[in-house]
Amino acid sequence: MRLRDAALVLILLPALFGCSRLDFVKPSGKSNLRVDPPSYNTRGTPEARRADEARQQIALASRELDAGNDANAERAARQALRVPGTAADANTILAMVQERRGRREQAGAFYRAATEHAPEQGAYLNNYGAWLCGNGRAAESLAYFDAAMRDARYGDTAGALANAGACALDAGQPGRAEPDLRAALELDPVSPVALDAMARLLAGQGRHFEARAFSQRRLAAGPATAAALQLAARIEQGLGDSNAAERYLQRLRTDFPSSQNLQPREASPP
Protein backbone atom coordinates (compact mmCIF):
# COMPACT_ATOMS: atom_id res chain seq x y z
CA MET A 1 0.00 0.00 0.00
CA ARG A 2 1.98 3.18 0.55
CA LEU A 3 4.32 2.45 3.41
CA ARG A 4 7.78 3.78 2.79
CA ASP A 5 9.42 1.67 5.51
CA ALA A 6 10.68 -1.49 3.82
CA ALA A 7 10.48 -3.31 7.13
CA LEU A 8 6.70 -3.33 7.12
CA VAL A 9 3.95 -4.21 4.70
CA LEU A 10 0.73 -2.24 4.77
CA ILE A 11 -2.71 -3.79 4.89
CA LEU A 12 -6.16 -2.40 5.50
CA LEU A 13 -8.17 -2.55 8.66
CA PRO A 14 -11.63 -3.90 7.84
CA ALA A 15 -14.21 -1.17 7.35
CA LEU A 16 -15.69 -0.85 10.79
CA PHE A 17 -17.12 2.66 10.55
CA GLY A 18 -18.24 5.20 7.99
CA CYS A 19 -16.75 4.76 4.52
CA SER A 20 -13.24 4.68 5.84
CA ARG A 21 -10.67 1.96 5.79
CA LEU A 22 -7.75 2.96 7.94
CA ASP A 23 -4.13 2.46 7.00
CA PHE A 24 -2.75 -0.45 9.00
CA VAL A 25 0.56 -2.29 9.32
CA LYS A 26 1.64 -5.81 10.11
CA PRO A 27 5.00 -7.42 10.78
CA SER A 28 6.75 -8.77 7.72
CA GLY A 29 8.96 -11.15 9.61
CA LYS A 30 11.97 -9.28 8.27
CA SER A 31 13.98 -6.32 9.49
CA ASN A 32 11.21 -4.74 11.58
CA LEU A 33 12.10 -7.06 14.43
CA ARG A 34 13.47 -5.14 17.38
CA VAL A 35 16.09 -7.71 18.35
CA ASP A 36 19.60 -6.34 18.11
CA PRO A 37 22.02 -8.65 16.27
CA PRO A 38 24.35 -10.49 18.64
CA SER A 39 27.85 -9.17 19.08
CA TYR A 40 30.91 -11.32 18.33
CA ASN A 41 31.27 -12.24 21.99
CA THR A 42 27.65 -13.38 22.36
CA ARG A 43 27.32 -15.15 19.05
CA GLY A 44 26.13 -18.70 19.67
CA THR A 45 24.99 -18.04 23.24
CA PRO A 46 21.59 -19.27 24.44
CA GLU A 47 20.29 -15.69 24.30
CA ALA A 48 21.36 -15.30 20.69
CA ARG A 49 19.80 -18.62 19.77
CA ARG A 50 16.51 -17.63 21.41
CA ALA A 51 16.53 -14.34 19.53
CA ASP A 52 17.13 -16.11 16.25
CA GLU A 53 14.36 -18.59 16.98
CA ALA A 54 11.99 -15.73 17.77
CA ARG A 55 12.81 -14.05 14.45
CA GLN A 56 12.02 -17.29 12.67
CA GLN A 57 8.76 -17.69 14.57
CA ILE A 58 7.64 -14.16 13.64
CA ALA A 59 8.49 -14.82 9.99
CA LEU A 60 6.54 -18.09 10.16
CA ALA A 61 3.59 -16.43 11.90
CA SER A 62 3.46 -13.70 9.26
CA ARG A 63 3.48 -16.24 6.43
CA GLU A 64 0.78 -18.35 8.10
CA LEU A 65 -1.35 -15.25 8.69
CA ASP A 66 -1.08 -14.30 5.02
CA ALA A 67 -2.06 -17.84 4.06
CA GLY A 68 -5.12 -17.75 6.31
CA ASN A 69 -3.78 -20.37 8.72
CA ASP A 70 -4.74 -18.50 11.86
CA ALA A 71 -4.13 -21.32 14.31
CA ASN A 72 -0.59 -21.81 13.05
CA ALA A 73 0.02 -18.06 13.06
CA GLU A 74 -1.16 -17.82 16.65
CA ARG A 75 1.02 -20.73 17.74
CA ALA A 76 4.16 -19.24 16.18
CA ALA A 77 3.44 -15.76 17.55
CA ARG A 78 3.02 -17.11 21.06
CA GLN A 79 6.37 -18.83 20.73
CA ALA A 80 7.94 -15.49 19.76
CA LEU A 81 6.43 -13.79 22.82
CA ARG A 82 9.11 -15.47 24.92
CA VAL A 83 11.73 -13.02 23.61
CA PRO A 84 11.04 -9.38 24.66
CA GLY A 85 12.53 -7.93 21.50
CA THR A 86 9.87 -9.55 19.32
CA ALA A 87 6.90 -9.02 21.63
CA ALA A 88 5.48 -6.02 19.74
CA ASP A 89 5.39 -7.94 16.48
CA ALA A 90 4.04 -11.08 18.15
CA ASN A 91 1.26 -9.14 19.85
CA THR A 92 0.35 -7.50 16.55
CA ILE A 93 -0.06 -10.86 14.85
CA LEU A 94 -2.09 -12.19 17.78
CA ALA A 95 -4.32 -9.12 17.52
CA MET A 96 -4.92 -9.75 13.83
CA VAL A 97 -5.84 -13.35 14.52
CA GLN A 98 -8.38 -12.20 17.10
CA GLU A 99 -9.77 -9.64 14.62
CA ARG A 100 -10.39 -12.42 12.12
CA ARG A 101 -12.20 -14.42 14.76
CA GLY A 102 -14.46 -11.49 15.54
CA ARG A 103 -13.01 -11.00 19.01
CA ARG A 104 -12.55 -7.25 18.95
CA GLU A 105 -11.88 -6.67 22.63
CA GLN A 106 -9.20 -9.34 22.73
CA ALA A 107 -7.67 -7.87 19.59
CA GLY A 108 -7.57 -4.45 21.21
CA ALA A 109 -5.74 -5.83 24.23
CA PHE A 110 -3.03 -7.27 21.98
CA TYR A 111 -2.70 -4.06 19.96
CA ARG A 112 -2.32 -2.14 23.19
CA ALA A 113 0.27 -4.61 24.46
CA ALA A 114 2.28 -4.02 21.29
CA THR A 115 2.44 -0.29 22.08
CA GLU A 116 3.55 -1.07 25.62
CA HIS A 117 6.48 -3.11 24.30
CA ALA A 118 7.35 -0.44 21.69
CA PRO A 119 5.96 2.83 23.11
CA GLU A 120 7.75 5.14 20.69
CA GLN A 121 7.43 3.14 17.46
CA GLY A 122 4.95 4.54 14.99
CA ALA A 123 3.68 1.33 13.43
CA TYR A 124 2.32 -0.08 16.69
CA LEU A 125 0.93 3.30 17.82
CA ASN A 126 -0.84 3.66 14.48
CA ASN A 127 -2.33 0.18 14.75
CA TYR A 128 -3.76 0.72 18.22
CA GLY A 129 -5.11 4.10 17.15
CA ALA A 130 -6.82 2.42 14.20
CA TRP A 131 -8.35 -0.17 16.52
CA LEU A 132 -9.60 2.51 18.92
CA CYS A 133 -11.12 4.51 16.09
CA GLY A 134 -12.80 1.48 14.58
CA ASN A 135 -14.32 0.54 17.92
CA GLY A 136 -16.11 3.73 18.87
CA ARG A 137 -13.19 5.53 20.53
CA ALA A 138 -12.26 7.95 17.75
CA ALA A 139 -11.35 10.87 20.00
CA GLU A 140 -9.03 8.68 22.05
CA SER A 141 -7.30 7.41 18.92
CA LEU A 142 -5.95 10.81 17.92
CA ALA A 143 -3.21 10.85 20.54
CA TYR A 144 -1.85 7.57 19.17
CA PHE A 145 -1.70 8.88 15.60
CA ASP A 146 0.06 12.01 16.86
CA ALA A 147 2.57 9.86 18.71
CA ALA A 148 3.12 7.71 15.61
CA MET A 149 4.01 10.81 13.61
CA ARG A 150 6.60 11.80 16.18
CA ASP A 151 8.58 8.65 15.38
CA ALA A 152 11.22 9.84 12.91
CA ARG A 153 11.79 6.25 11.74
CA TYR A 154 8.15 5.62 10.91
CA GLY A 155 7.82 5.49 7.16
CA ASP A 156 4.15 6.33 6.62
CA THR A 157 3.41 9.81 7.90
CA ALA A 158 0.80 10.17 5.16
CA GLY A 159 -1.05 7.12 6.45
CA ALA A 160 -1.02 8.35 10.05
CA LEU A 161 -2.24 11.79 8.93
CA ALA A 162 -5.03 10.22 6.89
CA ASN A 163 -6.04 8.07 9.85
CA ALA A 164 -5.95 11.07 12.18
CA GLY A 165 -8.08 13.16 9.84
CA ALA A 166 -10.66 10.44 9.25
CA CYS A 167 -10.91 9.70 12.97
CA ALA A 168 -11.08 13.39 13.88
CA LEU A 169 -14.08 13.61 11.56
CA ASP A 170 -15.67 10.63 13.30
CA ALA A 171 -14.93 12.29 16.64
CA GLY A 172 -16.82 15.41 15.57
CA GLN A 173 -13.69 17.52 15.17
CA PRO A 174 -13.85 18.84 11.57
CA GLY A 175 -11.52 21.70 12.48
CA ARG A 176 -8.79 19.16 13.14
CA ALA A 177 -9.86 16.76 10.39
CA GLU A 178 -9.49 19.02 7.36
CA PRO A 179 -5.87 20.16 7.94
CA ASP A 180 -4.75 16.59 8.66
CA LEU A 181 -6.48 15.25 5.56
CA ARG A 182 -5.08 17.95 3.30
CA ALA A 183 -1.60 17.34 4.71
CA ALA A 184 -2.00 13.62 4.05
CA LEU A 185 -3.00 14.31 0.45
CA GLU A 186 0.01 16.55 -0.04
CA LEU A 187 2.14 13.52 0.77
CA ASP A 188 -0.04 10.91 -0.91
CA PRO A 189 -2.52 12.35 -3.44
CA VAL A 190 -4.20 8.97 -4.00
CA SER A 191 -4.79 7.98 -0.37
CA PRO A 192 -8.26 6.35 -0.36
CA VAL A 193 -8.60 7.00 3.37
CA ALA A 194 -7.94 10.74 3.05
CA LEU A 195 -9.94 11.18 -0.16
CA ASP A 196 -12.93 9.39 1.31
CA ALA A 197 -12.84 11.37 4.54
CA MET A 198 -12.48 14.68 2.67
CA ALA A 199 -15.53 13.85 0.55
CA ARG A 200 -17.51 13.01 3.69
CA LEU A 201 -16.39 16.14 5.49
CA LEU A 202 -17.20 18.50 2.62
CA ALA A 203 -20.54 16.84 1.88
CA GLY A 204 -21.45 17.13 5.54
CA GLN A 205 -20.74 20.86 5.34
CA GLY A 206 -22.89 21.25 2.22
CA ARG A 207 -19.84 21.92 0.04
CA HIS A 208 -21.06 19.47 -2.57
CA PHE A 209 -19.11 20.76 -5.56
CA GLU A 210 -15.81 20.35 -3.69
CA ALA A 211 -16.97 17.04 -2.27
CA ARG A 212 -17.66 15.73 -5.77
CA ALA A 213 -14.02 16.17 -6.78
CA PHE A 214 -12.76 14.22 -3.78
CA SER A 215 -15.40 11.52 -4.23
CA GLN A 216 -14.42 11.05 -7.87
CA ARG A 217 -10.75 10.89 -6.91
CA ARG A 218 -11.56 8.33 -4.21
CA LEU A 219 -13.38 6.07 -6.65
CA ALA A 220 -10.49 6.33 -9.08
CA ALA A 221 -7.89 5.59 -6.39
CA GLY A 222 -9.00 2.09 -5.48
CA PRO A 223 -11.84 -0.43 -5.54
CA ALA A 224 -15.23 1.07 -4.82
CA THR A 225 -17.06 0.26 -1.62
CA ALA A 226 -20.81 0.36 -1.12
CA ALA A 227 -20.41 3.29 1.25
CA ALA A 228 -18.27 5.26 -1.24
CA LEU A 229 -20.89 4.78 -3.95
CA GLN A 230 -23.67 5.81 -1.58
CA LEU A 231 -21.76 8.94 -0.69
CA ALA A 232 -21.14 9.73 -4.37
CA ALA A 233 -24.87 9.41 -5.07
CA ARG A 234 -25.74 11.66 -2.13
CA ILE A 235 -23.28 14.30 -3.32
CA GLU A 236 -24.84 14.28 -6.80
CA GLN A 237 -28.28 14.61 -5.26
CA GLY A 238 -26.99 17.59 -3.29
CA LEU A 239 -25.85 19.12 -6.57
CA GLY A 240 -29.24 18.48 -8.18
CA ASP A 241 -27.89 15.97 -10.71
CA SER A 242 -30.38 13.13 -10.36
CA ASN A 243 -29.06 11.33 -13.44
CA ALA A 244 -25.53 11.12 -12.03
CA ALA A 245 -26.93 10.06 -8.67
CA GLU A 246 -28.91 7.27 -10.34
CA ARG A 247 -25.80 6.05 -12.16
CA TYR A 248 -24.01 5.61 -8.84
CA LEU A 249 -27.05 3.89 -7.35
CA GLN A 250 -27.24 1.53 -10.30
CA ARG A 251 -23.57 0.70 -9.83
CA LEU A 252 -24.29 0.13 -6.15
CA ARG A 253 -27.13 -2.27 -6.99
CA THR A 254 -24.97 -4.13 -9.49
CA ASP A 255 -21.74 -4.36 -7.51
CA PHE A 256 -23.23 -4.68 -4.02
CA PRO A 257 -26.60 -6.46 -4.28
CA SER A 258 -26.98 -6.74 -0.53
CA SER A 259 -26.92 -2.93 -0.34
CA GLN A 260 -29.54 -2.36 -3.03
CA ASN A 261 -32.21 -1.25 -0.58
CA LEU A 262 -29.98 1.30 1.11
CA GLN A 263 -30.44 4.96 0.33
CA PRO A 264 -27.52 7.40 0.10
CA ARG A 265 -26.85 8.25 3.72
CA GLU A 266 -25.98 11.54 5.24
CA ALA A 267 -22.30 12.32 5.55
CA SER A 268 -20.79 13.11 8.92
CA PRO A 269 -21.94 16.61 9.92
CA PRO A 270 -19.41 19.34 10.61
Domain locations along the chain: 8-188, 191-270
Q: What is the dihedral of CA 168, 239, 230, 20, to 10 degrees?
A: -20
* 179 Cβ contact partners less than 8 Å away, ≥ 6 residues apart: 165
45-57 confidence digits (pLDDT tens): 887 888 888 889 9
Instruction: Kindly state the average pLDDT of the residues 128-139.
Output: 97
Neighbours of 256 (CB within 10 A): 16
pLDDT at 149: 95
Instruction: Kindly state the average pLDDT of the residues 60-68.
Output: 94
Instruction: Kindly state the average pLDDT of the residues 29-57.
Output: 60
Instruction: Kindly state the average pLDDT of the residues 160-171.
Output: 97
pLDDT at 48: 81
Which of the 8 DSSP states describes residue 266?
A: P
* Residue 168 buriedness (CB in 10 A; 0-12 / 13-18 / 19+): buried
CATH class of 8-188: mainly alpha
75-126 confidence digits (pLDDT tens): 999 999 888 789 999 999 999 999 999 999 999 999 999 999 999 999 999 9
Higher pLDDT, 82 or 60: 60
pLDDT at 258: 84
Average pLDDT across the chain, whole number: 84
Question: What SS3 class is residue 181?
Answer: helix
Global model pTM greater than 0.85: no
